[in-house]
Amino acid sequence: MLLSRRQTHLAASSILAIALPLILLFGFIFRPQYLPSDESAQILFEQDGYALVADSELGEKIASEDLGKSSQFNAITYTQEDDKVILTLKPRWDLRQPDLLIYWDGAAEAPEEIGDSALLLGRLSGSAQRQFSVPDAIVGKDGYLLIYSQGRQAIQAAFPISASLTQL
């Protein structure tokens, strides 16, 4: 009884030792060279704010600013043909917290908590460049860009934003 099990185990191990590397090799050879995505996936990426278009396609550049003492983020604003302002944020390094939200607050001083006047711009994570549509209510106004952690229920950073960054 044990001998038949040993023979079966040897045969199965031998087949897997040959078949699995071949399957892996074929997977690498025949993988697509393009990003597999259809129109329905494109809409989901746009809703989530991921940068899907090149900077040259965003429109005319308004201003660029490094945020934070050690330049943690690079913020660039663009204006589009319909006078819509787009804010792009590019982290300088990978963000380790997956639950960060970006708010804009028009307070005169850096707020300690998210107030009722704060506007949610979107979500931020990883090291990918993100695009946010700037609401008309904050175009051309001074304020603070707040990075809020949902898990910690606290503001992680507050960056002053000058009106020139969103001025049309």
pLDDT per position as a tens digit, 145-156: 898 998 889 998
pTM, rounded to two decimals = 0.63
CA dist., res. 30 & res. 162, Å (int)? 50
CA dist., res. 120 & res. 136, Å (int)? 13
Closest C-alpha among 83, 119, 88 to residue 102 = 119
**pLDDT tens by residue, 15-60:** 999 999 999 999 989 887 665 555 666 666 666 655 455 555 667 7
**pLDDT tens by residue, 94-117:** 777 778 898 989 888 888 888 888
Domain 49-165 falls in which CATH fold?
Immunoglobulin-like (2.60.40)
Q: For residue 84, what pLDDT is reported?
A: 82
Q: Is the pLDDT of residue 10 over 80?
A: yes
